[in-house]
Amino acid sequence: MQNNKVVLIVVDALRFDTACTHMGFMQHLVERKIAARYKVCSEVPSLSRPLYETILTGTPPIVHGVTSNMTVRLSTQNSLFHLAKENGLTTAAAAYYWVSELYNRAPFKHMEDRLQLDTQLPIENGLFYFEDHYPDSHLFADAAWLMDQKQPDFLYIHPMNVDDDGHKFTADSAQYRNRVLAVDALLSLFIPKCLAQGYEVIVTADHGMTSDGNHGGTTVEDRHVPLFVMSKRVKAGIKDEIVSQLQIAPLCCYLLGIEPSDEMVSLLLEGVQS
């Protein structure tokens, strides 16, 4: 397998239906045969910390043991960060501090752990924020700095403002929908930069958001999220079948050119070209 560079963007609490109706740039990429779009069904509970771990390790909560947002400890699994490093690839993240607590240090020390650069940890270069309203625009600027200055092979990006506005105003609000529009606008600036630097790009979400302004349950509003893939090795266009969230980690391994962990499921994603 050839090695490639991958950017994985997880937009916290981005519902599938809202992504389809309010992400004009992402739909443009689909229509112009640059991106593939899938509907993903998340694992449950549809909560943030358990699903960060699921996305990044390819294992369900009953296996990885992070079953609650209150589970504060390092991961016990082989994450994409661990696997990349074991294969001689470099890693970076611009993300919420819970990601640092899963893979670098737990608990997070706010006055010490925001900037973690040139480390020997699984996330070698990390810029971590700890306020849910930390602007997504700043977060993508953080990611752009990491890309330009550190040139990681695997870069993880995790904006939080969609989730923040969903909790404040519910998924049925103008504020939630407008925030999705705003993220799409940021992606219209950031994704061309990624493609120009030779990265393959995945955009997805951990969970959705309900009309009650929450998530954690089993409804399609809680669980159905988008998956956009920009890669020459994944056929572009809209895919109709619902896919498991467990497919994201082995997809990342495939695009990075590394072997998945033994705990990951086999990659069975429509349109993946060997």
Count of domains for the chain: 1
Domain limits for position 12: 5-256
| Residue 261 maps to a domain | no
CA distance 36 to 270: 10
| Residue 135 maps to a domain | yes
| Residue 75 maps to a domain | yes
Q: What is the per-residue pLDDT across 165-177, written as a single tens digit (0 to 9) for each?
A: 999 999 999 999 9
Note every long-range contact of 250-255, with CB atoms under 8 Å and residues 24 or more positions apart, other chains counting. 250/58, 251/202, 252/6, 252/8, 252/80, 252/154, 252/202, 253/80, 253/83, 254/1, 255/4, 255/6, 255/200, 255/202, 255/231
| Residue 99 maps to a domain | yes
| Residue 220 maps to a domain | yes
CA distance 274 to 258: 14
Domain harbouring 236, CATH code: 3.40.720.10
Q: What is the per-residue pLDDT across 48-100, written as a single tens digit (0 to 9) for each?
A: 999 999 999 999 999 999 999 999 999 999 999 999 999 999 999 999 999 99
β-pair type (199-204, 224-230): antiparallel
| Residue 269 maps to a domain | no
| Residue 15 maps to a domain | yes
| Residue 190 maps to a domain | yes
Whether the full predicted model's pTM is greater than 0.75, yes or no, is: yes
% of the chain at pLDDT higher than 70 = 99
Q: What is the per-residue pLDDT across 184-198, written as a single tens digit (0 to 9) for each?
A: 999 999 999 999 999
